[in-house]
Structures are given as C-alpha cells and as structure tokens.
Structure 1
Amino acid sequence: MKSPHIGVFDSGFGGLTVLSALLKHIPHACYTFLGDTARLPYGSKSRRTIAHYASEAAQYLVKQGAEYLVIACNTASALALDAIQDAVPVPVLGVVEPGAIAAHAASKTGDVLVIATAATVQSHAYASACHAQGLRALEKACPLLVPLVEEGWTDHPVTRQVIDVYLSELRAEAKAAGLNYDTLVLGCTHYPLIRKLLEQAVTPGVRVIDSAEATAEAAMKLFGQSDADKSDTAQVRCFATDSVEKFERLGSRFLGRPTGKVELVDLGG
C-alpha cells in the first residue's frame, strides 16, 4: 500500500491531538504538520483574515507534497473551510463536521452539549453542523480550559473545579432550554488532554465525543485508507511559523510522543 502524505494544519499546536489520533488510525502515512504560531490566536481575527492565513498554510502544505489536508483547528474549520477547499486541489477535512456526525451516532435523545473556545462558540459552527444531523445542540464557551491545559494542569484540582463550574452552568442552561441531552462534544483540540476529567465530571450515562478521534476516523474513510494496515511506519515532520522551542516543549505533550526537530517557516503576511 502506498503511504499517503497527509498535511495537518492548526493555528497553534493544539491540533497535534488530531495528529495523534491520525497516527493511531493511519499509522503508515507520511505527515506534515504546520502550526501558524506567529499569527495565533485566530479567534480574534476577522473571517477574511482567517481565510487568508489558513489558505496560505494549506497551500504551503500542498507544496510540501500533501495529498490530503486535515484542518485541525476549530476556528479555521468553522470560518474558513470553504476558502481552504477553494485554495488547494486536494481533499480537505475539518474537525467540526466529524464531531457532529459522531454525536449523531452516539446520541439517542437527539440533544447534545458542546464545549469549546469563545471564538468557536460565537461562530455557532457546531450548532449548525449538529442541526444538519438532526440534533439540537447547546454550546458553551470554556475559556479557562485552554490555558490550564497549556500550563500542564491536566490532572490538577483547580482544573477539576473549573470543569465542575462550567458543566454545572451548562447543565442549568440545558435544563432551562428543555434539553434531554445524553452527549457532550469536545469542540476544542486542547480538550482531549483533559478528557478523563470531563468524563468523570459529566452526568452518568452522558457520552463524551472527542472531535479529534472523530476526525481521524472520518479521515480514514474520506482518504480511502484501510485500518487493515496497522504497521507503524509513520513519518512526521513539524513546521511552525514562530516559537519553535515552545512548540517542541508543549507539542510533545499534545502529540503523546516527541515532535522531533520543529522547523521554522515564514508564510509572509
């Protein structure tokens, strides 16, 4: 089987959790990861600027030989997926729709909750994607979780307390909205690192959907890859537009293995 070349893009390094899931599901591929760390956070930018930055990054990955692209960035997936698809001649997969599809498969009541960053929630991308699947979705921004994860507090009492506060508020909002929810979607690529804490904090019986895992499973189908070949011959090359030392330090935690030498690249304006 020919090893596919898959490009993975994020505005930072959180998308390495998606790459980690891809490595598990398509372990024989060649991967090129690009983190646009010089221009993050994308969430504070306009839709036009996000589309411009993300399209530049996608074109760079294709120039590096990528035959398929995974947009491992919720903001770019929510606000610029069409622009990225128009900018490159290869199949492109975002992280929002796979999460919604996985939620549909998991939910029996048709009501789901979504936690994400403020920018992703403000885009209502998950609500729209869930609605397209026939689901009712209630979204909640959880802005403190990303810095806690980046601090390395993935099993810390403070993180547990913050999760409890957010989920208590979300449960109250769901009750007020009359939702009989049974599924929680993790709409941020940082959240897989605290998935165990979230699973412990949700109401018993609620399924937790990791959009990184859902995206990797969708990629396997979309890119025509079989899970029959489980030989771990993956090659990983990482690029960043700034802060390569920080990328190497924190990125290895997100990827679950050393990132190796991260190469600095200049994408221009």
Structure 2
Amino acid sequence: MERPIGVFDSGVGGLTVVKQLSKILPNEQLIYFGDTARIPYGTKSKRLIQQFALEDALFLLQFNIKFLVVACNTASSSALEILIQRLTIPVEGVVEPGAQTAVQKTRNGRIGIIGTSATIKSSSYTKSILKLMPEAEVFGQPCPLLVPLVEEGWLDDEVTKMTLKKYLAPLMEQKVDTIILGCTHYPLLEKAIQQIVGPQVTLIDSGKETARVVKERLAALKLVNAGPKPNEDLYFVSDSARQFSQVGSRFLEKQLENVQRIDFDEFLIKHSDAPLLKNLEVLHEE
C-alpha cells in the first residue's frame, strides 16, 4: 500500500525514530510533523499533551496516512490511549516497544528509565514493564535539562557530561543493569551515557525498538508498500524551518532539506470543527 506513514513529535527528537524507520522500511514514504512552536511537551499538563497530540494527528491525517507513529515519549505516555480510541488507523507509540525490550534484556530485574518530567511522572514505562515482569524493580529519573543540551548540539560538552553524571548517579546507586532512553533526543547521547554507566549496563533505544514493531505491524496488517518508494519524505514544522533543518541534520546524520513551516494556528482555526477535536473537555489531568 503506497499511502504514507505519519510521524509526529513535539520537536526534532522524533527524527531519531524517522532515522530507524527509514533504515528498515526504505520503501515507505514518511511524513513528519514537529510541533516546534509548542515544545517542550514534557513540562505540560496531561490534558494539554492529549489536546496537542490530537491536533498533531489531525494535521497528518490530511495526507491520507495509513499508520501513525507517536515519536514522542511524552505524548506516548499521556495521549496514546486517546489517539487509539479516536483514530481509525493503527497507532504505535514508543513506550511499549522500549519496555518489552528492557524486560528481555535485563539480567537482574532492575531497570532504570530516563526521560522528561512528564514521561517519568506518568509512570507509563513502569506500568508497561511491571505488566510484563511483575517482579521487576523500576527506577525513573527525570532529566529535564538534556533536551535543550541536545538541541544546542552540546553532545560532547563538559556541561552535558556533568549533567548526565548527576542524573545517572541515582540509577547506578540502585544497581540497574538496563536503562531505557525514554526520550527520542537521548540516542544522540548514547555514547556519552554508555561511558558513564559502563559496558555492563544495557541501553535501550526506544526509537529503534519502535521502528521494529511498526515494521511487524505493517506486515501483519498487510499495509507494507511492496513497490518502490512512491514519494520523497516530507517534513513540516510549526516554527522555524531553518533551525529545525540545522538541528535535524545532526539527528539524521544527513542534510535535511525541504522543511516546510506551516501556520499551525491558522490550520487549527480552519479545522476547529473537526470531529477528532470534539469533546476535548473529556480529556483529564491524571
């Protein structure tokens, strides 16, 4: 099926998922939306994250997508359920695939999670892990400073290394043997994190695991594009296209061109009566 796959994130981090999807699904067209005008999602309330996720999905639906990937840990933690309820196409987030792999990889049942404040507060990874492995001990560590450091490109900077050491210290004290990189920005810090925690700790890239699950689900649903890639990937943002291209090129490890900035406020006003956005008052805080 030649219809594209839609991918959204609050910003540029979801491009780590796009990178993995492109590797294992080279014949699929990807349409990406980065809601850069409203980043970060990680500090917002659950209700607002749910609203933003529905609005992001609405933008991508206009391209007749066949599958939606929520390439944002915060939105996956807080809004996946409402997206699955309201959409008629399959949806995959980044939490479940990462949790499943962590359970498979851990040797001592002590699993750490690093992520945004909202992701850690939601306990989404913890719930998913305990459902699969009730005896597991799970330790969450919010790391709110890492996203801006990654977006600044400070991957090997001493400030970043010091910040990582401070965030990772409580997890190492708990003797975790597996850590989930619970934010799509964090794979860019994987090398630095591995140096700090040592080779005995397994790092789980939830974006990589999500791409694998998406491929499996597409095959099971008979939605795989069997022919050549129908069109080039498209990238849309709600704020500066130039800034996104600069930072995004680091994430994809190739030049990112043809990024289009859209007036998202205008789009939402124009589609304010869309059924997907009705009854937002039923969204809840916790």
Q: Fold conserved (TM > 0.5)?
A: yes
Cross-structure match for 1:88: 87
Kindly provide the amino acid, as one letter, of the partner of residue 149 in structure 1.
V
Cα distance in structure 1, aligned partners of 2:192 and 2:230: 32
Question: What SS does the aligned partner of 2:37 have?
Answer: coil
Kindly provide the amino acid, as one letter, of the partner of residue 120 in structure 2.
V
Which of 236, 240, 257 in structure 1 is aligned with 2:237? 240
After TM superposition, the runs of 4+ consecutive aligned structure 1 residues lying more than 3 A away are 231-234
RMSD: 2.2
Question: What SS does the aligned partner of 1:201 have?
Answer: helix
1:101 CA displacement: 0.6
Kindly provide the amino acid, as one letter, of the partner of residue 218 in structure 2.
F
Cross-structure match for 1:171: 172
Cα distance in structure 1, aligned partners of 2:88 and 2:190: 35
Kindly provide the amino acid, as one letter, of the partner of residue 246 in structure 1.
Q
Cα distance in structure 1, aligned partners of 2:109 and 2:2: 38
Q: In 2, are the aligned partners of 1:27 and 1:233 still within 8 Å (CA)?
A: no
> What count of residue pairs does the alignment treat as equivalent?
261
Cross-structure match for 1:192: 187
Q: In 2, are the aligned partners of 1:59 and 1:88 still within 8 Å (CA)?
A: no
Cα distance in structure 2, aligned partners of 1:162 and 1:91: 38
Q: How does 1:21-60 map to 2 (within 5 A)?
A: 21-60=20-59
Cα distance in structure 2, aligned partners of 1:63 and 1:33: 12
Is residue 2:218 matched to residue 1:223?
Answer: yes
Structure 1 residues without counterparts, runs of 5 or longer:
175-179
Which of 176, 198, 201 in structure 2 is aligned with 1:181? 176
**Relative to structure 1, is the Cα distance of residues 164 and 15 closer, same or farther in structure 2, using a 3 angstrom cutoff?**
same
Cross-structure match for 1:61: 60
Q: How does 1:128-167 map to 2 (within 5 A)?
A: 128-134=127-133, 135-167=136-168
- TM-score between the two structures when normalised by the length of structure 2: 0.85
Cross-structure match for 1:201: 196
**Relative to structure 1, is the Cα distance of residues 17 and 131 closer, same or farther in structure 2, using a 3 angstrom cutoff?**
same
Structure 2 residues without counterparts, runs of 5 or longer:
270-286
Q: Deviations over 1:202-240 (max 9, x none)?
A: 14311111111111111111111899x8x8887210011
Cα distance in structure 2, aligned partners of 1:84 and 1:98: 17
Question: What SS does the aligned partner of 2:233 have?
Answer: strand
1:246 CA displacement: 1.2
- TM-score between the two structures when normalised by the length of structure 1: 0.90
Cα distance in structure 1, aligned partners of 2:67 and 2:231: 15
Q: How does 1:12-27 map to 2 (within 5 A)?
A: 12-27=11-26
1:75 CA displacement: 1.0
Cα distance in structure 2, aligned partners of 1:239 and 1:42: 17
Q: Percent identity?
A: 41
Cα distance in structure 1, aligned partners of 2:176 and 2:74: 25
